[in-house]
Amino acid sequence: MKLENFLPALGFLSFKFLTCNSSIKKIIKAFVYALMLSNFIFISIFENKILDFISPFITFFAIYNIINLDRCGFFWAGFFSGILWFYWISFSFIYYELAWLIPLVIFGIGVIYGLIFLAASLPSFVALRAILLFIFSYIPPFGFNWFNLEATLILGIFQPNIRGLIAIFLAAILASYLKGYLRIIAVIVSLAFGVGFKNTKPVELPFSLELVNTNVKQSQKWDKNLKDKFIDEAILIIDNAIALKKRAILMPENAFATFMTHEKNLQRELLEKSHKIAIIAGSLAYENGSNFNSTFLFDNGVMKRFDKVVLVPFGEEIPLPNFAKEIINKLFFDGASDFKTAKEPSSYTIDGVKIRNAICYEATTDRLFKGDFDVMFAITNNGWFKSDFFPTTQPILQRNLLKYYATKYNKIIYHSVNGSKSEIIKPKEF
């Protein structure tokens, strides 16, 4: 059964390169290999040491099989990989009252990553295809860097860095060209090159921290009728932490779903409580006609504000030329303008500990780990990516990426979240 027999009926899907010997069987195989490449996301759900150990070897077999596909197979492997990793992005459109766009967004994500894989398949040599796929995995489309093949090694015995990934790709290339015992020996030696080793012990907090977890639905979070209710609940959480004699409390992104800069009474109340506990919480800020996604620190009667540095592509900014940006904002986001950012990452000090501030997406970027600091406090609102009708793997992927960066820079990340689990994320142990 040939797919080209059905493509004419699909109209705009009838790309010529998809009809080159692209059978249903080959598409299914490409889906299986994409699922194998995505295995670390789904295996993480089980928190099973045996599955964790197996995970990077599944990744190796995925890469080996993908680089040996024909061009059509390459496209479909990328298409399904993009969807398996990022289908949940489409859920955020529910809260812009654009749910009808969900299938189109999912399809678009698949096409973007399908084309990236297709570009890597253009050479006829398997080794060159593997090298291009390796290189292209480091090029973020529209600045979105979550397709990180190094992070696929966050489980198991391999180092989740460029050395570990080179080992996996080299083993896949050698397995493609060699036969018999020579192939087995070459693969084992190559994979051994990527095995991890113990890191030095990272800095931990010397004081007690209340790590807050909330589960406010995104559909309710910005409801003006519920604003006072949610503020009262947040104040109660702070009071409970004070009763427990915690030194600090870390609350999620937009824990106060308002413009903190406008809330003078709320500021006074938090400043008063800050003599008993340091309060770190997310809220919005407005200054000089611009909106900011910010973290507010209240400590010893002083308020400080730290603005986000790296915005979410197509969430907080449109990473396109101004004319296209204005059109998209007008059509889909009621003419809203992009958030503004701080120029550099921010840090603050509590009891001598230098803490790097990070808000959601930016905690999974290299830029936020540059410079001198001891630990990272990250705050997130994952309510955007939850659906009442379909499960989301977004928090799992995010957690794996945070652990990847914690390992890469040997830092502990204290992560306070709305909509999924809050936790202390430490570097990978070997």
Task: Tell me, yes or no, whether 138 and 287 share the same domain.
Answer: no
My answer on whether 178 and 216 are in the same domain is no
3-state secondary structure of 355: strand
Distances (CA, A) of 15 to 3, 4, 9, 175, 350: 12, 10, 12, 32, 57
Given 246, 360, 362, 428, the catalytic residue: 360
Question: Would you say residue 3 has pLDDT above 80?
Answer: no
The rounded distance, in Å, linking the Cα atoms of 244 and 226 is 27
Same domain membership, residue 282 and residue 143: no
Whether residue 369 sits in one domain with residue 269: yes
CB within 8 Å of 330: residues ≥ 6 apart: none
Domain boundary among 129, 162, 194: 194
Task: Kindly state whether residues 230 and 174 are assigned to the same domain.
Answer: no
pLDDT bin (cut points 50, 70, 90) of residue 220 is: very high
Q: What are the pLDDT digits (tens) for 345-373?
A: 999 999 999 999 999 999 999 999 999 99
Quick one: pLDDT at residue 9?
40
CA distance 237 to 249: 9
Paired tokens of 285: 């800020």
Q: Which residues contact 52 (CB under 8 A, 6 or more apart)?
A: 43, 155, 156
pTM, two decimal places? 0.92
179 and 227 in a single domain? The answer is: no
Q: What is the extent of the structural domain holding 116?
A: 23-194
The predicted structure's pLDDT at residue 72: 93
Active-site choice (253, 316, 317, 362): 253
In a domain, 246, yes or no: yes
Q: How confident is the model at residue 6 (pLDDT cuts 50, 70, 90)?
A: very low
d(CA 157, CA 428): 10
253 in active site: yes
Q: HSE, CB side, 13 Å, CA atoms: give it for residue 386.
A: 15
Number of separate domains in the chain: 2
- CATH number for the domain spanning 228: value is 3.60.110.10
Residue 7: inside a domain = no
Place 187 in a pLDDT band, splitting at 50, 70 and 90. Answer: very high
Place 11 in a pLDDT band, splitting at 50, 70 and 90. Answer: very low
Whether 13 is in a domain gets the answer: no
Residues 374 and 402 in one domain: yes
Name which residue leads in pLDDT, 252 or 98.
252
Q: What is the pLDDT of residues 400-409, one digit of tens each?
A: 999 999 999 9
**Confidence band of 107 (pLDDT split at 50, 70, 90):** very high
Q: Which residues are CB-contacts of 418 (< 8 A; sequence separation ≥ 6)?
A: 213, 214, 215, 216, 221, 252, 253, 254, 255, 380, 381, 382, 383
- Please tell me whether residues 389 and 257 are part of one structural domain: yes
For the chain, what is the mean pLDDT? 92
Q: What is the mean pLDDT of residues 79-99?
A: 95
- Whether residue 4 lies inside any domain: the answer is no
**Do residue 307 and residue 408 come from a single domain?**
yes
Are both 118 and 257 inside the same structural domain? no
pLDDT of residue 8: 43
Active-site residue, from 221, 246, 273, 308: 308
* Rounded Cα distance, 421 and 410, in Å: 22
Residue 40: pLDDT above 70?
yes
**Same domain as 71, residue 220:** no
pLDDT digits (tens, 9 = 90+) for 265-294: 999 999 999 999 999 999 999 999 999 999
Q: Say whether both 178 and 48 belong to one domain.
A: yes
- Residue 384 within a domain: yes
User: Is 5 a domain residue?
Assistant: no
360 catalytically annotated: yes
Give the domain-ending residue among 163, 194, 225: 194
Give the DSSP per-residue string, 63-104.
HHHHHTS-HHHHHHHHHHHHHHHHGGGGGGGGGGT-GGGHHH
The pLDDT confidence band at residue 7, using thresholds 50, 70 and 90, is very low
Q: What angle do CA 22, 139, 23 make, to 5 degrees?
A: 5
199 occurs within a structural domain:
no
Q: Which of 160, 194, 228 is the last residue of a domain?
A: 194
What pLDDT sits at residue 327?
A: 76
Residue 203 lies in a domain: no
Whether residue 16 is predicted with pLDDT greater than 80 in this model: the reply is no
